[in-house]
Amino acid sequence: MVSVINTVDTSHEDMIHDAQMDYYGTRLATCSSDRSVKIFDVRNGGQILIADLRGHEGPVWQVAWAHPMYGNILASCSYDRKVIIWKEENGTWEKTHEHSGHDSSVNSVCWAPHEYGLILACGSSDGAISLLTYTGEGQWEVKKINNAHTIGCNAVSWAPAVVPGSLIDQPSGQKPNYIKKFASGGCDNLIKLWREEEDGQWKEEQKLEAHSDWVRDVAWAPSIGLPTSTIASCSQDGRVFIWTCDDASGNMWSPKLLHKFNDVVWHVSWSITANILAVSGGDNKVTLWKESVDGQWVCISDVNKGQGSVSASITEGQQNEQ
Amino acid sequence: MKLKEIDRTAMQAWSPAQSHPIYLATGTSAQQLDATFSTSASLEIFELDLSDPSLDMKSCATFPSSHRYHKLIWGPHKMDSKGNVSGVLIAGGENGSIILYDPSKIIAGDEEVVLAQKDKHTGPVRALDVNIFQTNLVASGANESEIYIWDLNNFATPMTPGAKTQPAEDISCIAWNRQVQHILASASPSGRATVWDLRKNEPIIKVSDHSNRMHCSGLAWHPDVATQMVLASEDDRLPVIQMWDLRFASSPLRVLENHARGILAIAWSMADPELLLSCGKDAKILCSNPNTGEVLYELPTNTQWCFDIQWCPRNPAVLSAASFDGRISVYSIMGGSIDGLRQKQVDKLSSSFGNLDPFGTGQPLPPLQIPQQTAQHSIVLPLKKPPKWIRRPVGASFSFGGKLVTFENVRGQPQQGAEQQQRQQVFVSQVVTEKDFLSRSEQLQQAVQSQGFVSYCQRKIDASHTEFEKNVWSFLKVNFEEDSRGKYLELLGYRREDLGKKRIKEEKQEPGFVPSAGGTFNISVSGDIDGLITRALLTGNFESAVDLCLHDNRMADAIILAIAGGQELLAQTQKKYFAKSQSKITRLITAVVMKNWKEIVESCDLKNWREALAAVLTYAKPDEFSALCDLLGARLESEGDSLLQTQACLCYICAGNVEKLVACWTKAQDGSNPLSLQDLIEKVVILRKAVQLTQAMDTNTVGTLLAEKMSQYASLLAAQGSIAAALAFLPDNTNQPNIVQLRDRLCRAQGKPVPGQESSRSPYERQPLSKGRPGPNAGHPQMPRVQTQQYYPHGENPPPPGFIMHGTVNPNTAAPPPPSPGHMHSQLPPYPQPQRPQNGWNDPPALNRVPKKKKMPENFMPPVPITSPIMNPAGDPQSQMLQQQPSAPGPLSSQASFPQPHLVGGQPFHGVQQPLGQAGMPPSFSKPNIEGAPGAPIGNTIQHVQVLPTEKISKKPIPDEHLILKTTFEDLIQRCLSSATDPQTKRKLDDASKRLEFLYDKLREQTLSPTIINGLHSIARSIETRNYSEGLTVHTHIVSTSNFSETSAFMPVLKVVLSQASKLGV
């Protein structure tokens, strides 16, 4: 069942481009072509406007919440070529940093897993991806990957923090030897996987080719303790692919077509437990997909204005298996 | 920014939108000569490879053409959505010719690339357009007002849209309407535009501003609005773009005056109707919004004029422009740096100078340093307004707690008034996908809350699909019942009463065993053994007497004498006896006598795990009990086959070892499935509860694996929106970071900020306590936190049942800092005391019924091994009393306490002797039984042992001689089950297992004919030898020769089982 528990009237004056809940699911951040970013307290079905953040000079495409261990921090990116990092201090939201290192629209922002520190990846229409690392005392270090995607990067998504070769997190105390990775998708129809080398430089690790048009979004699935890595990608060509990699080296990725839609697919989002994929398309359709027992992806729900039913076929299949 | 360059003076055509990859075709321009003044012509196809950062376009094919071109277009005719067919290249030539090329053949390098050619026009064909609705229709325009409509499916004869316009003039542009397929527009340098309706076959409207200065170089229809079009003028005196609406055709709707000199070409983006490209003799390429007139973008160009400009149909950000300096450039309007361009120049330079060491000096050239200033100039700003295609209109993102955040914008252009009405809403929805999982979780919580464990277990037993599942639940249920050890034994197939009955029978068979006390006897002191023994006895030298007896193999005498000789001697004698004795059950007896259960558990045949477990249940002391069960479980897990491995779970349940149960279960089950995780958690929660109630073990530590499973479970619950339930199940007393974090997240997700936490920066240090303080009533149902702690009390000492320890932190672990003053521990009202263990016995039954049951430390005494002197003169009162009542229902008699010499001789034992001892019984209860056993009908007993534990007690037993059928079939099904992989087969097998009950019932009732029975036995034998095909043959024989009604209930499933076994090769 998909049932609306809260309808938030954002009072944005133009098209909304992104809406994201914070880590706890109690605050909602939205951004719009009206150049504003808004934050609402949505606890218990309420909708209290906490902040109306002005600072961008163009449509704001995406917002991203940082992990709360770093405080209440929100990043936003805009057509104005800027990335702004907002922070709540003593109950007031203020701009804490502005990154203007891109030459074109910044289309996507994504915070790294909190284990790595405060790192933000930004993908831009100038083809570059920049990585902002908080180094303390208000300082941000910038690394830039130029020509990551010719004529534009549309999406960035970090891999979950998993130590290679171990399925469960290492005991606390010793610092795990994480390998930082993220995926990006762009107007060159490619998905690229990037990894940080030991010298701190970012290197292209993989090119995933299957889409025949712009890759609109990529989403690396959260880790649920399995050795398989999974990435969902969607494209202007209407296709959604699920990429999986089983081998330890992380180099053998195989795509599986989830579905070919009749229109551009804008956004893919994994559930926290990584078993459901929400797909939003240009026909304003939101669908939920789940992998069945036999490995096929099945649409379990059509969501219209936040409402939808969930087909039970998959659940039944699992029960029969018992 | 510039993406690519081709050094050609040529007309250009992008491949249609369907085509992937993207190609650009170029045909040598007829009007412009390049710098070489070459008159040769060619048609070339380039691929746009954006993953290649260099400025070069990859050339795919070159076809030397005899034509030079005025116009080149690429139509999607006959292309499917996958772009398998490459469409048709349509070229307008100099001498009135229209040529159709097959681009795929050009790319393949074929000689024959021309599909068709018609020289119908009388002059150069400057205007061409493909109808976007019917891609086989092409309109062409040339001089003398000639317009033809070509059908690519029937290319021979073109149509005309109507009578030629007068006066005759050149047709410089032609364009199909983007909304209405039968509308066509043409324009000429004279400035007049004509709109044709092909259905009426005549011009319907003429558009002209009568200025006579509009020299139409471009014509384009509005992509969305059917009645609007733009006309561009190449006259330097009127370098404008006019926007016309046919509904008001008297004057232009809008005039764009952004160029300083005449406009040579325009292109209207199909992807965004607010983007119109124009290039002019002022050497500018502009992108304007024709709906407002605003210039959105000026492309950085060199000073050369461009005579042709095209949007890439597939990639909306890409356009190409052909300039008079002999170059076609591909640009992106999204801005960006032009480092690539510079790189190309650098590359060119270095290639001109040879490689890195052009002068052979041995010194490579230093890398070219590009001045910083240039870098600043190289940045190209994007469009002022974001193009439509990057404005994401819809989104759906998951967030914590199974919430889905969605928004959607009304499609199209909700401009002006509509925008006001459109509320910009975001929906927050709850997604629930696992209903079964949630309802089962709910049931479990209810059971825990209401303490209705027995009925919960019973429901589970009733609902079980497999024998194993049933077993597990039966075992779990026993935990909450009186006399749990006894019940365990029953489940293992050992019923005290049964044996009692047998004993009574036994006694009847051996009447008069008691030696008569009367009569005299002769004390011999002769020189034989008897004499020696007599002497020894007479001198009180028991040791010698025993030695003598042992030497003479008079074991019974030896033991009896040893008993009289005291503990030490008895122990020695027992040792010697065991050393000599070789009977099959000696080891069991040894273990019983020496209390060495470890030995049994460690070395028994794993097939006898039930017996070993039974023995442990009977004899082991509370402090070693669980260790022994664990040991057995561990052996089953590590040594046994997959079937036995799962049985290890039962041992762990007996042991109350939650952690091991989790480990064992996890190994056997697919844990990623929510329902299978639910299966596990149900058992774990119930077992923990049981262990907590019995207090036999320390229940506080939550091991890593269990913690992981519990947090996984909590995550799943949270993902279904059941935040409160997730909190309830999350282990309390662990400081594993992931659990602490999850707890923190759950608390806050509930909208209850974690109290006592000044900063949100440190979830690791958070003391995740909810606002809700537990009331005096520990089981308050509305407070999930309280429930949690009720399930999992923590702290170092096992808390009494129902007593809740809050926030106690195990000091051995690196715990969070001690609770703040606001910590609830200090604020707790006093807890009710009645459930404290010391009060246990006197508690009201309603409260204490359950906890009391398994209080082994207080009322459980394991049967004392036989070393306690049976003939102890002091005796114990109980046994003496019993001795006086030989006919008491209790299974013992004084007679039985006499050693039976023939025991040594080795009864035909095949299994382990069935002990009768029962937890909680006084010591004397058990010991005689053991010794009395030899006379009992052991064969039956042993076979009875093999009856599966869950067999309904109310049913008649299956006759012993047929039990083998049941065990064989059951065993086979279990084997199949453990090697079957697909759920369908498993279901079949489970079903078969259930249906075979019909057979067992018939066996119990002994209603089957001897033929069938014999047949079944031979099937069983062939199963033993794994000769399933033989079994199937026998099966067929039985079915064909027997009465259908007699066998129909079970024979078909037996066949299923046999064929599955054969298929699985188990």
As beta bridge partners, residue B44 has B26, B62
d(CA B942, CA B367): 92
Task: Answer yes or no: do A152 and B332 touch at CB < 8 A.
Answer: yes
d(CA A267, CA A234): 7
Question: Nearest-CA residue of chain A relative to B738?
Answer: A169
Residues of B in contact with A207 (CB under 8 A): 51
Cα angle B1050-B1052-B1055, degrees, rounded to a multiple of 5: 110
Q: What is the mean pLDDT of residues B701-723?
A: 81
Mean pLDDT estimate for chain B: 72
Q: Which of residues 338-377 of B touch A (CB under 8 A)?
A: 339-340
Confidence of residue B1037 (pLDDT cuts 50, 70, 90): confident
Which range, of B295-309, B457-471, B512-526, averages the lowest pLDDT? B512-526
Residue A45: both structure tokens together: 């079905």
Interface residue A280 vs chain B (CB under 8 A) = yes
Residues of B in contact with A30 (CB under 8 A): 407, 426
Closest listed residue to residue B445, CA positions, set B726, B658, B692? B726
Which stretch of DSSP H or E encloses residue B576?
A: helix B567-580
The reported pLDDT for the residue numbered B988 is 80
d(CA A17, CA A106): 13
Confidence of residue B528 (pLDDT cuts 50, 70, 90): confident
Distance of residue B554 Cα from the nearest chain A Cα, in angstroms: 60
Is the pLDDT higher at A51 or at B505? A51
Interface residue A83 vs chain B (CB under 8 A) = no
Residues of B in contact with A24 (CB under 8 A): 400, 745, 748-749
- Residues ≥6 apart with Cβ < 8 Å to A160: A113, A220, A221, A222, A223
Q: What is the mean pLDDT of residues B34-49?
A: 77
Suggest the residue from B319, B429, B713, B722 to mutate for an interface test with chain A (most A CBs closer than 10 A): B429
Largest CA distance in chain B: 160
Interface residue B674 vs chain A (CB under 8 A) = yes
As beta bridge partners, residue B336 has B380
Question: Nearest-CA residue of chain A relative to B82?
Answer: A212
Interface residue A71 vs chain B (CB under 8 A) = yes
The reported pLDDT for the residue numbered B777 is 40
Task: Answer yes or no: do B430 and A33 touch at CB < 8 A.
Answer: no
CB contact burial A190-222 (16+ within 10 A = b; e otherwise): bbbbbbbeeeeebeebbebebbbbbbbbbbbbb
Distance of residue B424 Cα from the nearest chain A Cα, in angstroms: 6
d(CA B291, CA B268): 12
Is B482 in a helix, a strand, or coil? coil
Q: Which segments of chain A have a pLDDT < 50? A: 166-170, 314-322
CB-based contact A63:A20 (threshold 8 Å): yes
Residue B403: both structure tokens together: 């919430």
Which of B433, B679, B983 lies closest to A300 in CB terms?
B433
Q: What's the distance, CA B189 to chain centroid? A: 67
- Residues ≥6 apart with Cβ < 8 Å to B655: B625, B626, B627, B628, B629, B630, B633
CB-based contact B28:B10 (threshold 8 Å): yes
Is the pLDDT higher at B163 or at A212? A212
As beta bridge partners, residue B467 has none
pLDDT greater than 80 at residue B156: yes
Interface residue B390 vs chain A (CB under 8 A) = yes
CB-based contact B762:B782 (threshold 8 Å): no
Closest listed residue to residue B560, CA positions, set B902, B551, B550, B925? B550
Quick one: three-class SS letters along B874-904? CCCHHHHHHHHCCCCCCCCCCHHHCCCHHHH
Interface residue A78 vs chain B (CB under 8 A) = no
Tally of CB atoms within 10 A around A44: 10
Burial class from Cβ neighbours inside 10 Å (0-12, 13-18, 19+) for residue B86 reads buried
pLDDT greater than 60 at residue B3: yes
| Full DSSP string of B380-431 | E---SS--GGGS--EEEEEETTTEEEEEE--SS---HHHHHHS--EEEEEEE
Task: Answer yes or no: do B749 and A293 touch at CB < 8 A.
Answer: no
Interface residue A25 vs chain B (CB under 8 A) = yes
The ipTM estimated for the assembled molecules is: 0.93
Task: Answer yes or no: do A5 and B403 touch at CB < 8 A.
Answer: yes
Residues of A in contact with B315 (CB under 8 A): 151, 187, 213-214
d(CA A64, CA B769): 28
Q: Which of residues 167-196 of A touch B (CB under 8 A)?
A: 168-169, 172, 187-190
Amino acid sitting at position A84: I
Question: Nearest-CA residue of chain A relative to B400?
Answer: A25
d(CA B334, CA A127): 9
Residues of B in contact with A107 (CB under 8 A): 390
Is A157 in a helix, a strand, or coil? strand
Q: Which of residues 221-250 of A touch B (CB under 8 A)?
A: 224-226, 237
Confidence of residue B670 (pLDDT cuts 50, 70, 90): low
Residue B78 backbone zone (phi > 0: left; psi -120 to 50: alpha; other: beta):
left
The reported pLDDT for the residue numbered A119 is 95
Task: Answer yes or no: do A44 and B337 touch at CB < 8 A.
Answer: no
CB-based contact A85:A112 (threshold 8 Å): no
Closest listed residue to residue B321, CA positions, set B356, B352, B297, B286? B286
Is B270 in a helix, a strand, or coil? coil
d(CA B622, CA B636): 22
Interface residue A52 vs chain B (CB under 8 A) = no
Quick one: three-class SS letters along B154-207? EEEEEECCCCCCCCCCCCCEEEECCCCCCEEEEECCCCCEEEEECCCCEEEEEE
Q: Computed from CA positions of residues B1013, B1019, B1025, B1026, in that sequence, does the dihedral angle turn out positive or negative? A: negative
Distance of residue A116 Cα from the nearest chain B Cα, in angstroms: 15
Suggest the residue from A286, A304, A314 to mutate for an interface test with chain B (most B CBs closer than 10 A): A286
Interface residue B463 vs chain A (CB under 8 A) = no
Which of B398, B712, B762 lies closest to A69 in CB terms?
B762
Write down the number of H helices and E strands in chain B.
37, 33
d(CA B715, CA A273): 7
CB-based contact B551:B558 (threshold 8 Å): no
Is the pLDDT higher at B588 or at B468? B468
d(CA B1039, CA B1022): 17
Residue A122: both structure tokens together: 């930004």
Residue B680 backbone zone (phi > 0: left; psi -120 to 50: alpha; other: beta):
alpha
Distance of residue A127 Cα from the nearest chain B Cα, in angstroms: 7
Q: Considering chain B, what percentage of its residues have pLDDT values greater than 70?
A: 67
Residues of B in contact with A169 (CB under 8 A): 737-738
pLDDT greater than 80 at residue B396: yes
Cα angle B357-B359-B363, degrees, rounded to a multiple of 5: 45
pLDDT greater than 50 at residue B628: yes
CB-based contact A144:A101 (threshold 8 Å): yes
The reported pLDDT for the residue numbered B946 is 42
Residue B314: both structure tokens together: 């597939």
Is A248 in a helix, a strand, or coil? coil
Distance of residue B58 Cα from the nearest chain A Cα, in angstroms: 15
Residue B443: both structure tokens together: 């049931």
pLDDT greater than 60 at residue B706: yes
Task: Answer yes or no: do A151 and B764 touch at CB < 8 A.
Answer: no
Interface residue B420 vs chain A (CB under 8 A) = no
Amino acid sitting at position B391: R
Q: Which of residues 286-315 of A touch B (CB under 8 A)?
A: 286, 288, 290, 293, 300-301, 303, 305-308, 310, 312, 314-315
Q: What's the distance, CA B698 to chain centroid? A: 33
- Residues ≥6 apart with Cβ < 8 Å to B647: B468, B609, B636, B640
Residue B1041: both structure tokens together: 């020769």
Distance of residue B568 Cα from the nearest chain A Cα, in angstroms: 53
Instruction: Dump pLDDT digits (tens) for B918-954.
Output: 444 444 443 444 343 333 333 333 334 444 444 444 6
d(CA B810, CA B813): 6
d(CA A256, CA B143): 55
Closest listed residue to residue A104, CA positions, set B386, B805, B153, B738? B386
Is the pLDDT higher at B1044 or at B207? B207
Suggest the residue from B424, B430, B440, B739 to mutate for an interface test with chain A (most A CBs closer than 10 A): B424
- Beta strands at B379-380 and B425-431: parallel, antiparallel or unpaired: unpaired
Residue B136: both structure tokens together: 């086989």
Question: Nearest-CA residue of chain B relative to A279?
Answer: B396
Which of A5, A7, A71 lies closest to B430 in CB terms?
A5
- Beta strands at B202-207 and B193-197: parallel, antiparallel or unpaired: antiparallel
Q: What is the mean pLDDT of residues B964-978?
A: 84
Closest listed residue to residue B729, CA positions, set B716, B719, B714, B715? B714
Q: Which of residues 788-827 of B touch A (CB under 8 A)?
A: 814
Q: What pTM does this model have?
A: 0.68
Instruction: Dump pLDDT digits (tens) for B97-107.
Output: 899 998 888 88
Task: Answer yes or no: do B334 and A152 touch at CB < 8 A.
Answer: yes
Suggest the residue from B397, B708, B742, B757 to mutate for an interface test with chain A (most A CBs closer than 10 A): B397
Confidence of residue B911 (pLDDT cuts 50, 70, 90): very low
Distance of residue A286 Cα from the nearest chain B Cα, in angstroms: 7
Which of A15, A26, A71 lies closest to B393 in CB terms?
A15
Confidence of residue B992 (pLDDT cuts 50, 70, 90): confident
Is the pLDDT higher at B1033 or at B803? B1033
Is the pLDDT higher at A277 or at B108? A277
Distance of residue A67 Cα from the nearest chain B Cα, in angstroms: 9
- Euclidean distance between the first and the last CA atom of chain B, given in angstroms as a whole number: 69
The reported pLDDT for the residue numbered B406 is 93
In this structure, what DSSP letter does residue B840 have?
Answer: G
